[in-house]
Structure 1
């Protein structure tokens, strides 16, 4: 006797198969084929029955003509006629019954065969779905290296598999970026924490430490915590701009440039640097005003930090077609070509950077530009200054369609041929 547990283990796969898409596809295929077969067989049955009713055997052998030509029908002729008609009716009924029986058997065989063929075809068609499911099950939170890599014609399942692989690629890159971000952040915060701990341990271990020693340590701790606070603020800003801005409006880039230059006017004067800003009016870009102000502030802070006394920092802007640009040019030491891409990475400082930089300012600029579907670009000559340019869509285009070049030592930039 089969126990309840054994019966459940036997029935569970059966129920799962009956509820699968494969079974439903096979059933639909079989029902369609069965329905078409039933229509064909029914048509043949109806046509044959109608033909037998309209053309009986008695007409074929000419009994009606014999009766009309011979006058009065004898008893023997009448008996023969009735026997013939009865025999004909019985033969017709037997033939129709036989046809019906064989038709039902044929339809049953057709249904069973179509279920088997439909099950096989559905399994072949849905095989990529099983492959997708297997890959999805093998994926874990720490391993996104699995890919479907489905071959075959570019049908719906191939597009589904390719879309799934693309999604895994994006997730893998995102997780790698997050891991790198955490590692960089921990490395950047480890140094001030080490300074704080070493100063505190040294002072607390010294029994002869004076009030001045404690004051000195307190000042060191204050500077280190201030640095940590700035790093944390920049980390939060960087993380916030990893997605597209949510408050997009039309921003006047000229007004934005003038406001940024005004805010840094005092800082530039204290460092004996001329800050020039003469952007045109009416340059509208689609973006988040607060984010763009921060990007410009980071560029100005970077330019004023590296600009030598007596030099000039210029803020310029322009537009062409569906794109507008905002540029900051300094007359600092410049950046070698080999380092130009690296300065936009997190916690990377070019040769021109001073110790005050935290290595996130230019990374935030690029993040803000890309979150606006734009670009951050650098044009620099070693020993002759640098121009940082933010290229923004004026009407929401998908990617920049112009290249930026630098014109002379004036720092003016403009789009050129596409």
Structure 2
């Protein structure tokens, strides 16, 4: 036997416009009632004896206090009914005009909930609470639209980048299986190792990028020069192998930062300067001063338009390192943003890039 559904008491839906209308009308009626009560109270002090005209020949009847009070009560009742009608009609009209911007905001929010983020409210007129809410909502939609577009590009690029090394390894193995007698096993193993390492590096970079975006970071005072010096020492072997000359001018400067992430910041910028350089004979300069990290490298000419897109995931430029997955500067941008700092990328006239990462100074 099925259990009957519980009865839900019906409750009328009182819209904001109706409640505002009732409030306007109620206040108007209450104000009228107060005025009528005051007049009624004052009239009670009128003498109650029969009144006569100043001229005895004038026989015009003069009302008594009781008759005046009765008239006041009757007229007050009519006046309150009139005020109630005027308050309802005027309140409904005024409430509709006042709430019209809110209806536009509600429409935009409904469209956004359905997945349409290209609609903007754009309220104009006198600056008030509604225009402030409209501007804030439009800014939120702008940020959401940019985030979703970046997410779609990121997902598409990540899918492509993750698929590529697996497709390459699959092709090499299929060729080896089809003609095993004419395969150089040592060369095949080397190529498989390189392709597999590229996939591992890509996955690790994606995980690091997601970790920076989704965790709260504790910032402590640290010497940017000390952290940079340790990262530079680790980069010298790769720079020497590539024929890149590394110079470091590391001046002590205290910043608020996370040591692990700041080390990753210097490492990524250094690797970017080495791998996207001109090759043997190129230079890489790393300096710290005034809570800023400045990394300058030689390399191919980068246009200002290209520089503006390099912090997007999977953005790539020309350079000797063809196996780059394009996440280095994207991770740098996330790290600087996590530290509430500022990142500036400026193309050098002769080629290469100058990157300035400004971190918050430590107030000791």
- TM-score normalised by length of structure 2: 0.83
Cα pair 2:239 2:246 within 8 Å, conserved:
yes
Work out whether 1:301 is the aligned partner of 2:271.
yes
Please tell me whether the aligned partners of residues 274 and 310 of structure 1 are also in contact (alpha carbons under 8 angstroms): yes
The RMSD of aligned alpha carbons is 3.2
**Does structure 1 residue 226 correspond to structure 2 residue 197?**
yes
Q: 1-side partners of 2:51 and 2:114: how far apart?
A: 86
Relative to structure 1, is the Cα distance of residues 45 and 344 closer, same or farther in structure 2, using a 3 angstrom cutoff? closer
Match status 1:362 vs 2:329 = yes
Q: CA deviation at 1:172?
A: 0.6
Which whole-Å CA distance do the structure 1 matches of 2:240 and 2:194 have between them?
A: 25
Distance 1:190 1:392 in 2: 36
In the alignment, what sits opposite 1:76?
A: none
Structure 1 CA distance, aligned partners of 2:146 and 2:86?
Answer: 49
Structure 2 residue aligned with 1:380: 348
* Aligned match of 2:259: 289
Secondary structure of 1:303 counterpart:
helix
Q: Counterparts in 2 of 1:126-205, with a 5 A limit?
A: 126-140=99-113, 142-204=115-177
Partner of 1:97: 70
CA distance in 2, matches of 1:192, 1:253: 37
Give distance in 1, aligned partners of 2:44 and 2:309.
Answer: 89
Gaps of 5+ in 1: 1-7, 64-86, 397-418
Give the length in aligned residue pairs.
349
- What's the secondary structure of 2:326's corresponding residue? coil
CA separation of 1:141 and 1:250: change in aligned 2, threshold 3 A:
farther
Partner of 1:57: 50
Shift of 1:92: 3.3
Kindly indicate whether residue 211 of structure 2 is the aligned counterpart of residue 240 of structure 1.
Answer: yes
Question: Closer, same or farther in 2 for the Cα pair 1:334/1:268, shift >3 Å?
Answer: same
Equivalent-residue separation in structure 2 for 1:35 and 1:93 (angstroms): 25
Answer yes or no: is the 8 Å Cα contact 2:287–2:293 preserved in 1. Answer: yes
Cα offsets for 1:347-401 (capped at 9, x unmatched)? 2332334213222212222332233331132342335x543322223169xxxxx
* Distance (whole Å) between structure 1 residues aligned to residue 99 and residue 325 of structure 2: 54
Q: How far apart, CA to CA, are the structure 2 residues paired with 1:144 and 1:310? A: 50
Structure 1, residues 221-253: CA drift from partner, whole Å, max 9, x if none?
443232112112112223334478621222211
Q: Aligned pair in 2 of structure 1 residues 334, 58: CA closer, same or farther (>3 Å)?
A: closer
Quote the residue 1:392 is aligned against.
359
For residue 21 of structure 2, give the secondary structure of its aligned residue in structure 1. helix
Can you list the C-alpha shifts for 1:69-116, whole angstroms capped at 9, x where unaligned? xxxxxxxxxxxxxxxxxx98x943233223212212221221232122
1:366 and 1:376 in contact (8 A); partners too: no
Q: 1:152 to 1:293 in 2, by over 3 A?
A: same
Runs of 4 or more, structure 1, over 6 Å off, are: 59-63
What is the TM-score with the length of structure 1 in the denominator? Answer: 0.73
Structure 2 unaligned runs (5+)? 1-7
